[in-house]
Amino acid sequence: MPNDLSSRHAGRRGASRLPQVGTTIFTVMSALAVKHGAVNLGQGFPDFNCDERLQGYFTDALAAGHNQYAPMTGVPALRQAIAAKQYALYGHRYDADQEITVTAGATQAIMTAVLALVHPGDEVIVFEPVYDSYVPSITLAGATPVYIPLDHRNGYAPDWQRVRDAITPRTRCQSGA
């Protein structure tokens, strides 16, 4: 039996665990923006450099040795600043060490939360329309999405009776909305 990884997995090369996942909304919107010469507001592609002061702060931080991976939950000072802002804006106190995690973006946050909370065989209620990373995350966790459409005629408010009817002993959580 071969003992190197590449030969043991040669038959699986390129095979996706999510073959049904197609083009994301970001790819579609970016292509449409290019096609129509429009400003791409869908993914954050600025056509200008960031402020020179910010560049200077970045340079200073690198020179001061802030150039290593952050702690897994995020830099403590940033988590504390987020907690303070949440309190200032909404009057709710969060424990920066126990209740705040900084991620690289929404897709990573969603994947992390789903993989932490959802187990194989679970069901997850998904309100549609839904951000396109929820369902692949649920699928990778081995769970089944249970779709509940949000109707524009009702202001996209959930039909709570339909939600109650969708809940089974296998329902783990709700995503989206």
CATH number at residue 175: 3.40.640.10
Q: Nearest to residue 137, comparing CAs of 96, 103, 97?
A: 103
pTM above 0.85, yes or no: no
My answer on whether 26 and 79 are in the same domain is no
Q: Same domain, yes or no, for 140 and 170? A: yes
User: What tokens were used for 2?
Assistant: 């071969």
Given a cut of 90, whether residue 22 has pLDDT beyond it is no
CA distance 147 to 86: 31
125 has pLDDT over 90? yes
The side-by-side arrangement of strands in the sheet containing 171-175 is 144-149, 123-128, 171-175
Distance CA 121, CA 165 (A): 19
- Same domain for 82 and 148, yes or no, is no
Per-residue pLDDT band at 157 (split at 50, 70, 90): very high
Asked if residue 45 is part of any domain, the answer here is yes
Do 85 and 108 lie in one domain? The reply is: no
164 and 121, same structural domain?
A: yes
- Read off the pLDDT of each residue in 51-80 and give the average, rounded to a whole number: 93
Helices (H), 22-133: 25-36, 52-63, 76-90, 106-117
Cβ 172 vs Cβ 117: under 8 Å: yes
Query: Is 11 inside a domain boundary?
Result: no
Same domain, yes or no: 134 and 171 = yes
Specify whether 109 is located in the same domain as 171: yes
Please tell me the predicted confidence (pLDDT) of residue 131.
86
- Calculate mean pLDDT across residues 141-169: 94
Average per-residue pLDDT for the chain: 87
Q: Tell me if 7 is assigned to some domain.
A: no
Pick 96 or 22 by higher pLDDT: 96
Extract the tokens encoding 171. 């329902």
Q: How many structural domains compose the chain? A: 3
pLDDT at 25: 77
Q: Identify the bridge partners of residue 145 per DSSP, sorted by sequence position.
A: 124
85 and 145 fall within a common domain: no
What span, in angstroms and rounded, lies between the C-alpha atoms of 107 and 143? 18
Domain assignment of residue 23, given as a range: 17-58
pLDDT band at residue 66, thresholds of 50, 70 and 90? confident
> Same structural domain for residues 112 and 151?
yes
Q: How confident is the model at residue 48 (pLDDT cuts 50, 70, 90)?
A: confident
Contacts of 23 (CB under 8 A, 6+ apart): none
Lowest mean pLDDT among 7-11, 21-25, 32-36: 7-11
